[in-house]
Amino acid sequence: MSQGRGKEENLDINKIFEDILFVEEVSQKLGYKEGYKSGKEQLLKGYHLGYHKASIIAAQLGYYSGILEQYLQNNDNTSEKTILIAKILLEDICNIFPECQSKNLDILKAIENIRFKYAKFCSLAKINPLYPEADKLEF
């Protein structure tokens, strides 16, 4: 018991009151540090999610471009409508990501529009529209 009393005698009442007085400031600094650390981790998670989703979209658009270019090079017995859709779709794919980012461009809507047009093209050209390596792209 004498050891416990020794600790009590070493406590400075002024230090205790000072700690109480600055508890809000200390809590604020601690909260800022924890919030900053948490935000940094969330930022990295968001970056990686965006990077992986963009990779999937880029692979699909690259596949679509390859199919369309191959189709246009070998369009011996094809309809004018299918060729026109292929040219428009290839142009849309090339223009989906402008050099300067526009606030008015809704990329997700543009990609859905391209997917819809590609499915329409494949239907007219009698091509299988499925992307064969879609299962390999999921991260």
What tens digit of pLDDT does each residue of 51-95 get?
Answer: 888 888 888 899 999 999 998 888 766 788 888 889 999 998 888
Residue 1: per-residue pLDDT: 44
Q: Determine how many CB atoms are found less than 10 A away from the CB of residue 67.
A: 21
Task: Tell me how far CA of residue 86 lies from CA of 69, 81, 97, 121, 124, in angstroms.
Answer: 8, 9, 19, 7, 10
Q: Determine how many CB atoms are found less than 10 A away from the CB of residue 84.
A: 11
pLDDT band at 35 (very low <50, low <70, confident <90, very high): confident
How much of the chain exceeds pLDDT 90, in percent?
Answer: 12
Residue 89: per-residue pLDDT: 93
Domains of the chain, residue spans: 13-136
